[in-house]
Amino acid sequence: MTDVATKGNSENTVQLRLPILLYHKVDSRFECGGTWVTPSQFERHVRFLKENHYHFCALETLLSKSEVSQRRVAMTFDDGYLALREFAFPVLRDYGVPASVFIVTGFVGRKNLWDVNIGWRRFEHLDWKDIEAAAAFGVRFYSHTATHRDLTRLDAGELRKELQGSRETIESRLSQKVPYLSYPFGIYNAAVARMAKETGYQAAFTLFKRRGEDVDSLYCIERAAVYRIDTVGSLRRKLEGGPLAGVERLKARTINWCARGTPVAKGLLRHAKKRSALLPLE
């Protein structure tokens, strides 16, 4: 869980403990990366939370409460992969779970070419028809930027385009406000957070707060990532803490560290292709 400072009606700062889970892929196909869960694993997680009397609520509800029950939890998904339609959305409907999906607007209906291709397998994203259908039964869609780039590497113009363009696209397609942003790879800094606020977002989500950064706490809200190696016991520790909670954070940091190498790897590949194109033919 994460502590977030918000302001109530009295303008007094209130510290909230926000239990927010983050999933990426829910898919039956194996992949080499760790940022996925199987369909049966996902259903088991949801059933466990229901049976243990957790109350699922929307992000808006979680952020608007001055007091948060220990049994309250929000479900979020990053990237908006197509497999959610088959393996996650039916479970959410069956159990009555509200959820939020952060989508990459420039890759809606396309394969995840923004990601490093590990294991020679690509995964498709939801298209607008899928997104509109899911929104009709209550799934909320927010911004994961336009092209899933490391925002800290962009100049001010590019950064604004990534954030504002994505928000405006979703608002236009779904006729809804888009107050929330999820940073790609969880990477941000003070300049990115300020731009998020400037371009109309009311809050932004990451995995781990950056220490020593002067950032409004509403623009660096942590979430507990759930991966293939996580059991229901792991889930409990992520939400409730305890002696082994540090182990869960270490696991998440390790997997996230690998994922954060994607922008570097993509840059190296582009550089190699440019060099290859410049080499004279023998």
Domain boundaries, the chain: 2-278
pLDDT of residue 198: 98
The model's pTM? 0.85
Q: Write down the pLDDT at residue 18.
A: 80
* Class of the CATH-defined domain 2-278: alpha beta
Q: Is the dihedral of CA 104, 106, 109, 112 positive or negative?
A: negative
Q: What is the pLDDT of residue 248?
A: 74
Q: How does pLDDT run along the chain (282 residues), one tens digit per residue? A: 655 554 443 333 333 448 999 999 999 998 877 889 999 999 999 999 999 999 999 999 999 875 556 689 999 999 999 999 999 999 999 999 999 999 999 999 999 997 876 656 789 999 999 999 999 999 999 999 999 999 999 999 999 999 999 999 999 999 999 999 999 999 999 999 999 999 999 999 999 988 877 899 999 999 999 999 999 999 988 888 877 667 777 776 776 676 655 554 444 444 444 444 444 555
* C-alpha span between 211 and 272 (Å, rounded): 34
